[in-house]
Amino acid sequence: MRQLAAFLALVLLVFGFTFTLTTAQINFVPPRAVYAGDLIYPDTIASGLVMLSIGLDSAGHVKDLKTLRDVPSATGHSLMAANAWTLRPPSRARL
Protein backbone atom coordinates (compact mmCIF):
# COMPACT_ATOMS: atom_id res chain seq x y z
CA MET A 1 0.00 0.00 0.00
CA ARG A 2 2.81 2.39 0.91
CA GLN A 3 4.59 1.53 -2.36
CA LEU A 4 1.45 2.28 -4.34
CA ALA A 5 1.09 5.66 -2.64
CA ALA A 6 4.74 6.47 -3.35
CA PHE A 7 4.29 5.46 -6.99
CA LEU A 8 1.18 7.62 -7.36
CA ALA A 9 2.96 10.58 -5.76
CA LEU A 10 5.85 10.17 -8.21
CA VAL A 11 3.47 10.03 -11.18
CA LEU A 12 1.69 13.19 -9.99
CA LEU A 13 5.01 14.98 -9.49
CA VAL A 14 6.27 14.12 -13.00
CA PHE A 15 2.91 14.99 -14.56
CA GLY A 16 2.72 18.29 -12.69
CA PHE A 17 6.25 19.29 -13.72
CA THR A 18 5.63 18.39 -17.36
CA PHE A 19 2.32 20.27 -17.34
CA THR A 20 3.97 23.37 -15.85
CA LEU A 21 6.73 23.35 -18.47
CA THR A 22 4.33 22.72 -21.34
CA THR A 23 2.06 25.53 -20.20
CA ALA A 24 5.06 27.82 -19.88
CA GLN A 25 6.17 26.98 -23.43
CA ILE A 26 2.70 27.67 -24.80
CA ASN A 27 2.62 30.96 -22.90
CA PHE A 28 6.07 32.13 -23.86
CA VAL A 29 6.12 34.47 -26.87
CA PRO A 30 9.80 35.02 -27.78
CA PRO A 31 11.22 38.49 -28.42
CA ARG A 32 11.29 39.94 -31.91
CA ALA A 33 12.34 43.05 -33.77
CA VAL A 34 9.51 45.32 -34.91
CA TYR A 35 11.53 48.09 -36.54
CA ALA A 36 14.97 48.19 -38.10
CA GLY A 37 16.68 51.26 -39.47
CA ASP A 38 18.88 51.63 -42.54
CA LEU A 39 22.33 50.16 -42.65
CA ILE A 40 24.96 51.47 -45.07
CA TYR A 41 27.66 49.23 -46.49
CA PRO A 42 30.88 50.45 -44.90
CA ASP A 43 33.77 51.61 -47.03
CA THR A 44 35.41 48.20 -47.17
CA ILE A 45 35.76 45.22 -49.45
CA ALA A 46 34.78 42.92 -46.58
CA SER A 47 31.83 40.58 -46.92
CA GLY A 48 30.26 38.01 -44.62
CA LEU A 49 27.93 37.53 -41.70
CA VAL A 50 27.97 39.57 -38.49
CA MET A 51 26.01 37.99 -35.64
CA LEU A 52 24.96 40.11 -32.68
CA SER A 53 23.24 38.95 -29.52
CA ILE A 54 21.05 41.54 -27.80
CA GLY A 55 20.07 40.87 -24.20
CA LEU A 56 16.70 42.40 -23.23
CA ASP A 57 15.13 42.85 -19.84
CA SER A 58 11.47 42.08 -19.31
CA ALA A 59 10.53 45.63 -20.37
CA GLY A 60 12.42 45.39 -23.67
CA HIS A 61 15.36 47.58 -22.66
CA VAL A 62 18.73 46.54 -24.07
CA LYS A 63 20.84 45.09 -21.27
CA ASP A 64 23.84 44.06 -23.29
CA LEU A 65 25.02 43.77 -26.85
CA LYS A 66 27.52 41.08 -27.76
CA THR A 67 29.27 40.18 -30.99
CA LEU A 68 28.93 36.47 -31.73
CA ARG A 69 30.50 36.58 -35.20
CA ASP A 70 32.77 39.33 -36.35
CA VAL A 71 33.53 40.79 -39.77
CA PRO A 72 36.28 43.31 -39.07
CA SER A 73 35.39 46.74 -40.46
CA ALA A 74 31.67 45.89 -40.65
CA THR A 75 30.85 44.94 -37.05
CA GLY A 76 31.11 48.51 -35.77
CA HIS A 77 28.52 49.70 -38.29
CA SER A 78 26.23 46.84 -37.26
CA LEU A 79 26.48 47.65 -33.55
CA MET A 80 25.65 51.31 -34.16
CA ALA A 81 22.67 50.45 -36.35
CA ALA A 82 21.28 47.87 -33.92
CA ASN A 83 21.09 50.50 -31.17
CA ALA A 84 18.42 52.36 -33.17
CA TRP A 85 16.13 49.35 -33.62
CA THR A 86 12.86 48.74 -31.80
CA LEU A 87 12.67 45.37 -30.08
CA ARG A 88 9.68 43.76 -28.42
CA PRO A 89 10.45 41.82 -25.24
CA PRO A 90 9.15 38.32 -24.65
CA SER A 91 5.54 38.21 -23.55
CA ARG A 92 2.78 35.88 -22.44
CA ALA A 93 0.32 34.69 -25.03
CA ARG A 94 -3.32 35.41 -24.29
CA LEU A 95 -4.92 31.96 -24.03
Which residues contact other proteins by CB under 8 A? 20-21, 24-25, 27-42, 45-59, 63, 66-71, 74, 78, 81-82, 85, 87-92, 94
CA gap 52, 70 in Å, rounded: 9
Closer residue to other proteins (CB): 5 or 93: 93
Closer residue to other proteins (CB): 8 or 69: 69
Closer residue to other proteins (CB): 6 or 73: 73
Q: Using an 8 Å Cβ cutoff, are 67 and 2 in contact?
A: no
CA gap 63, 58 in Å, rounded: 10
CB of 81 to other proteins, least distance (A): 8
Q: Which of 91, 89, 87 is nearest to 33 (CA)?
A: 87
Q: Using an 8 Å Cβ cutoff, are 66 and 47 in contact?
A: no
CB of 9 to other proteins, least distance (A): 21
